A and B are shown apart, each in its own frame.
Chain A
Amino acid sequence: MKNFWHNITSGLKDIYDVFTLELYRIFTDGGVMLIFFVGSLLYPLIFGAIYKHECIRNLPVAVVDDSQSAPSQRFIHELDATPEVNVNYNCNTLSEAETLMRQRKVNGIVYFPNDYSDRLAKGETARLCLFCDMSSFLYYRSVFTGASSVMLDEMKHVELERYAMAGVTGEDAETAITPVPYEDVKLFSPAGGFTSFLVPALLALVIHQTLFLGIGILSGTAREEGQTVAIVPERLRNRSVYRVVIGRSLAYLMIYIPLVAIDLVLLPRVFGLPHIGRLDDLCLFFLPFLLATIAFSMTVGSFVRQRDTGIIVCIFFSVVLLFLSGVVWPRSNMPLFWKYFSYLFPSTHGIQGFIRINSLGAHLKQVQFEYQMLWVQSGLYFLITCLLYRVKFFKYEDRAVCI
């Protein structure tokens, strides 16, 4: 019994020692401090500023009106009045508008052929042409949304006229035009904005990547300085390795709990991003997310031989991880190989879970899969890290391990 208590107290003492040592190393390393504190707080602020406006408003477009008629002019006026686009140029010929487009003065061209009003008068289908700048999808989206909303409005106008000619008026005409109307409800981000969609994902990714980068740098530095993966107090050398891993993890966890609170709880509220998630669900979810990220980073970190390799690996994976998370490209359409590949990274489940709790108001029950996966990852990477450290301690036993 005495032995048992001794084990526990010495274990706790060792963990505490590793913990304080790791904190000391973090706070004395300028690069790591920069990544942990400046990186994780500055990036969200910059992203918040870059993606401040949800949608593009008043995108410049040119119109070419070969029809020169009342209906086409009415269309142009209505188009100008939409929030999405602004009719900045009235051109005489299509080539004039094309030149403006090439000079990037406009992002779209609306062209009315000369038979536009004739066809309308004859009761046929009138056509208008739309040329969209595809250099950014948001340009295309704005121009297209603007033009189709005006088109729908105009269509109703024309249809009412045509039914009136056929002797159908009033409510009968309304019913005849849209016998089965539909309402559309855009859930979770009513404005359909870019900001509410991308920034929450970026916030979670920043937490993952700064933590990953910081731990990678610390491991790399230790190796560069001729140590094993972690600097350990001398007397810990022949003890069980889990004390080192737990001690280090606790140090990162302690630093990151307030950072997560700021980035993922406070900032969505400050930036006016969706935040309909329950706070207790969020907190319960963050714990395995942080643990999995820490364990994952320590596993990868033990392969990092030089400080700057860590940085390069991390940078390179940032973009890949964003895509793997399934926020940009739907998970249902990922090739199977990449889908399973994405299960290797805590960020995949972390970002998914965070968005679903925070933006979609899901409960923990609905992110069960992600939640469990993060715990599985935490456990798995923790064990792998222990194993790797064990191997390395044996390998470098002859080398000086100083405090």
Chain B
Amino acid sequence: MKHLWNCFCRELGLIKESPRYLILLTAGILFSYVFFLTFMHEGQPENLPIAVVDQDGSYLSRRLCHEIDATQGVDVVAVYNSHSEAREAMQRQEIFAFLEIPAGTYSEVLDFKTPHLALYSNNAYLLAGTLSYKTLSTIGKLTSAAVQREVMRKKGYSEDQIMGMIQPIEIDAHLISNPWGSYLPYVLTTMLPGIIGVMALLLTVYLVTNEYKLKTENIWLSTAGDNMLNALIGKLLPYTCWFTLIGIIGNMVMFGFSHFVCLGSFFALSVALLLFVMAMQAMGVFLAGLIPDQHLAVSVAAIYGMLSFSMSGFSYPVVSMPPALQAISYVFPLRHYYLTYADVAMFGATFTQYWPHLCWLLCFMMAGCIGGLLLNRWAKSNSDDAAIEC
């Protein structure tokens, strides 16, 4: 225990000597929190630019334009005369969708014929395309409903009967733990802790390999009483505390200040965060032990860290990935953090439900131990070499 403390103090001294890295990383993390919270503050994009191709120029088409413009989701930024103009505007990304009202629409409605509207949406931009499509298709349905209602009123049906005719079935959708359908909790709750984790990983690889690069590994080990486990824990503990602290404050901002829904216990989430940071550090130790060359080790850690975001499955579900990748997803700690978060915050799960994810995070400590053994071997062989040279 004394050795561990010594090693801890030595690391604090090293940080005091050159705090550049820690400051850089902390600034980076703070920047991402500020960036993402302000960048998507709307939650769901509103007033997306769309256009109307009005070839009819009638009372009905003008009214449609106004009604579309009045909805919250979209904003009519232009009225074009031809399809090709609108298509080019879409390619210039000035609009995400457009509604085409062919000539003669109004007169056909009056004649009880069926004019066709056409609705074009740009699916290459998934979020904007889907949302503007959704709003426009609602308008499309409402147009039919409005005409239908007028006809039925004239025929003498009661309002209740009319409603039953127009909308016989209704879906009452409940979006669990994100009733606004906001983009923020969906992206940020996993990605921001993910960024912290990747930083912890890179820093671990860098710091551990640095001891070998500067040939201070023997001083480091002797401070820890020639025990690699003590040495590693002592060295990494300050960063574990620091990153977990930032993560918890970040979660407080998200679940407190930004009012994201957290049904379960915040404490459980914090524990998961601590284990996640430790798991990322353990992977860092493992990589450092596996690849003794600092440059290469940091590069490999960077590649592994970046894949965490895709492999965690928060944006694209793991179940839709090829089976081999589904298996590989287990070696990314962010995946387990995301699962714990979903269980705890979104479904209010209790310990009996989310403990397997925490166990998985603990399993990464084994990778850390293997890394420690390898590091021990490098240290021994290095000191042997030094002895031979002497």
Hey, which bits of chain A sit against chain B, CB under 8 A? 29-31, 34-35, 38-39, 42-43, 46-47, 49-53, 55-57, 101-104, 120, 122-141, 144, 147-148, 151, 154-155, 158-159, 162-163, 174-190, 192, 194, 196-198, 213, 217, 221, 274, 307-309, 311-316, 318-320, 323, 326-335, 338, 352, 355-356, 359-363, 366-367
Contact = CB atoms under 8 A, between A and B. Distances in A.
Contacts of A50: 310-311, 316, 321, 325
B316 A138 contact: yes
A178 B144 CA distance: 5
A124 B198 contact: no
B183 A329 contact: yes
A42 B304 CA distance: 12
Nearest to B307: A46
B330 interface: no
Contact of B172 (A55, A129, A338): A129
A182 B137 contact: yes
Interface of B: 21, 24-25, 28, 31-32, 35-36, 38-42, 45-49, 87-88, 90-93, 96, 105, 109, 112-130, 133, 137, 140, 143-144, 147-148, 151, 160-161, 163-165, 167-178, 181, 183, 186, 191, 195, 198-199, 202, 206, 293-296, 298-300, 302-303, 305-307, 309-311, 313-317, 319-322, 325, 342-343, 346-347, 349, 353
Contact of B143 (A30, A123, A180): A180
A125 B167 CA distance: 6
A296 B126 CA distance: 29
Given A139-B317, A158-B169, A315-B302, A335 B199 contact: no
Q: Which 9 pairs of residues, A with B, have the shortest CB-CB distance? A: A362-B91, A31-B295, A135-B342, A182-B140, A189-B123, A182-B117, A330-B128, A179-B147, A134-B178
A56 B317 contact: yes
Contact of B320 (A53, A133, A177, A179): A53
Contact of B42 (A138, A158, A333): A333
30 contacts: A49-B321, A51-B310, A56-B317, A102-B353, A124-B160, A127-B170, A132-B175, A137-B315, A139-B317, A158-B168, A177-B148, A180-B143, A181-B117, A182-B118, A182-B140, A183-B117, A190-B123, A192-B123, A194-B126, A197-B125, A217-B295, A307-B295, A311-B298, A312-B24, A318-B306, A319-B32, A330-B125, A332-B47, A333-B47, A338-B38
A329 B126 contact: no
A170 B142 CA distance: 23
A178 B118 CA distance: 14
Contacts of B36: 323
A325 to B, nearest CB: 11
Contact of A334 (B39, B137, B316): B39
A197 B300 contact: no
Most buried by A among B105, B163, B295: B295
Contacts of B25: 312
A339 B178 CA distance: 27
Nearest to B45: A333
A91 B317 CA distance: 25
Contact of B35 (A42, A307, A320): A320
Contacts of B119: 182-185
Nearest to B202: A312
Contacts of A139: 317
B127 A328 contact: yes
A330 B125 CA distance: 8
Contact of A31 (B147, B167, B299): B299
A176 B157 CA distance: 14
Nearest to A144: B173
Contact of B39 (A135, A338, A362): A338
